[in-house]
Amino acid sequence: METYILGIESSCDDTSAAVLRDNKILANVIANQEVHKFYGGVVPELASRAHQQNIIPVIHKALDAAKIHKNQLHAVAFTNGPGLLGSLLVGASFAKSFSMALGIPLIEVNHMHAHILAHFIEDPQQPQKPEFPFLCLTVSGGHTQIVLVKNHFQMEVIGQTIDDAAGETFDKAAKIMGLPYPGGPLIDKLAKKGNPHAIPFPHPKIPELNFSFSGLKTSVLYYLRDQLKKNPQYIEENKEDISASVQYTIIEILMNKLRKAAQQTGIRHVAIAGGVSANSGLRQTMLQEQEQSGWKVYIPKFEYSTDNAAMIAMAGYYKFQEGDFAHQQVTPYTRYSD
Ligand code: KG4
Ligand code: ZN
C-alpha cells in the first residue's frame, strides 16, 4: 500500500508544506518571509504572524501540486522543535487540528533530525543514500553539530557550537558588511569572485569536537571598523575578498573538526545537512576531501538543504512505519534535544 504523508515546517521564517508518497516527494511548497530582510535577522513576532497568513494557502498549494485530496493522506507530520516558539505553535496547531479533523495520526518531527533525513528522499539525480553509521555535519542558522547517525532514529551529537552557529556567523558578518538578511547566500555569491586568503581571520582553539564562532564574528567587526577609519569605502571596494575570507575561515573551522571526528570514529561516510550545506564553498571542499581522504561524501540537493517540509515528511514517513505517533497534548520545544 502506498503511504501519503503531509509534512509541515514552520520552525523559523519559512512556511512550508510537502506531500510524500512513500519516500518520493510529490510536492514541496515554500513561502519565504521577505519581512525580515532589513532587520538583520528573523523578528519572531513578525515570523509567527506571517506563518499564520501563509499556512493555509501553502497547504492547499501542496495538495494541489501533489494532485491528491486531503482524504487520501495517511498522517500529518510537523516540526515540533527546535525553533522559535511562536512560529512552531502555528505549524503544530494546524497539524493537530488537521489530523484530528481527518482522523489520521499526528507525527512530531525534530527539525535537526529531519535535515539529516533529507538525504533519504528518493531522487533519480541522487540515487546513492548514506550508509549507516555515518557522520553528518548539520549546519543551520541556529545549530552547528557533528552527528553520529546510527540509523533513521538514533542520532548522537558528538560535537556542537558553544556559542554562535555557522549560519548565524555568515548572517552576522553580512550584516556588519551592510548586506540584508539572510546574508549566507549573498556572502557565498560574493566569495566566488574574491580571494579566500586576502584577510587571515583567526581560528578558535576549542577542545574536543566542539566549535566556536563568536571570536570570528568579533574579529570581522573590529577588522572592518579599523579599515573603515582609514578608508570609508573599504567594504564596498573589498566586499568580494572580505566575503571569501570569512567563508574560507568558517569552512576551515567546520572541516577541521569534521576531519577530527572522522579520524576519531573511523567513519568514512560523511554527510552535510542544513541551510549552510547549500554553501558552494563547503560543497566544493567536501568533494575535495572525498578525492584526498577517501571519504564517501553525501551532499543534499540544493532545495533540501535549507528549510523545507519535504524533509519533515520524510522523517514522518520513517516514524509512520514504526507507528511512532504523537498525542494531541504534545507541545513544541525551542531548544535541541535528541
Ligand atoms: O536550515 P536553515 O534553512 O534554517 C535553520 O534551521 O536555521 O538555515 C538557514 C541558514 C541561514 O543562516 C542562512 O544564511 C544559511 O543557512 N545559508 C547559507 C547559504 N544558504 C543558506 N549560508 C552560506 N551559504 C549559503 N549558500
Ligand atoms: Zn533548518
pLDDT digits (tens, 9 = 90+) for 277-303: 999 999 999 999 999 999 999 999 999
pLDDT band of residue 68 (cuts 50, 70, 90) is very high
pLDDT band of residue 338 (cuts 50, 70, 90) is confident
Probe residue for ligand 1, chosen from 306, 311, 334, 336 as the CB with the greatest number of ligand atoms within 8 Å: 306
Say if ligand 1 is within 6 A of residue 279 CB.
yes
Query: What is the Å distance from ligand 1's center to 236 Cα?
Result: 23
The pLDDT score that the predictor gives to residue 1 is 85
Residues with Cβ within 8 Å of residue 214, at least 6 apart in sequence: 163, 164
Is it the case that residue 153 has pLDDT exceeding 90?
A: yes
Probe residue for ligand 1, chosen from 30, 42, 140 as the CB with the greatest number of ligand atoms within 8 Å: 140
- Same-domain status, 231 and 173: yes
The Cα 255–Cα 251 span in angstroms is 6
The Cα 155–Cα 61 span in angstroms is 33
Beta strand residue intervals within the chain, DSSP E: 4-9, 14-21, 24-32, 75-81, 106-110, 134-139, 144-149, 155-160, 269-273, 296-298
Range 215-237 average pLDDT: 98
Locus of grid cell 510529490: 26
Assign 103 to helix, strand or coil: coil
Flag whether 329 is in a domain: no
- Same-domain status, 207 and 227: yes
Q: Residue 182 corresponds to which cell in the numbers above?
A: 539572510
Flag whether 124 is in a domain: no
pLDDT band of residue 39 (cuts 50, 70, 90) is confident
Structural domain including 245 reads: 129-299
Range 89-99 average pLDDT: 98
The Cα 260–Cα 254 span in angstroms is 10
- Same-domain status, 80 and 62: yes
Nearest CA to ligand 1 atom 23: 184
Residues with Cβ within 8 Å of residue 155, at least 6 apart in sequence: 113, 116, 136, 147, 148, 149, 338
Say if ligand 1 is within 6 A of residue 277 CB.
no
CA 285 vs. chain centroid, Å, equals 18
Indicate which CATH number applies to the domain containing 133: 3.30.420.40
Is it the case that residue 276 has pLDDT exceeding 90?
A: yes
Strands 24-32 and 14-21: antiparallel
Q: Please state whether 83 falls in left (phi above 0), alpha (psi between -120 and 50) or beta.
A: left
Range 12-17 average pLDDT: 96
Query: What is the Å distance from ligand 2's center to 275 Cα?
Result: 6
Share of the chain above pLDDT 70, in %: 100
Probe residue for ligand 1, chosen from 30, 168, 170 as the CB with the greatest number of ligand atoms within 8 Å: 170
Encode pLDDT of 311-324 as tens digits.
Answer: 999 999 999 999 99
**Does the predicted TM-score (pTM) go above 0.85?**
yes
**How many structural domains is the chain composed of?**
2
Nearest CA to ligand 1 atom 22: 184
Q: Which atom of ligand 1 is nearest to the CA of 115?
A: 1
- Same-domain status, 136 and 272: yes
Say if ligand 1 is within 6 A of residue 194 CB.
no
Is it the case that residue 234 has pLDDT exceeding 90?
A: yes
Say if ligand 1 is within 6 A of residue 332 CB.
no
- Same-domain status, 82 and 166: no
Flag whether 219 is in a domain: yes
The closest alpha carbon to 184, from 136, 234, 251, belongs to: 251
- Same-domain status, 34 and 102: yes
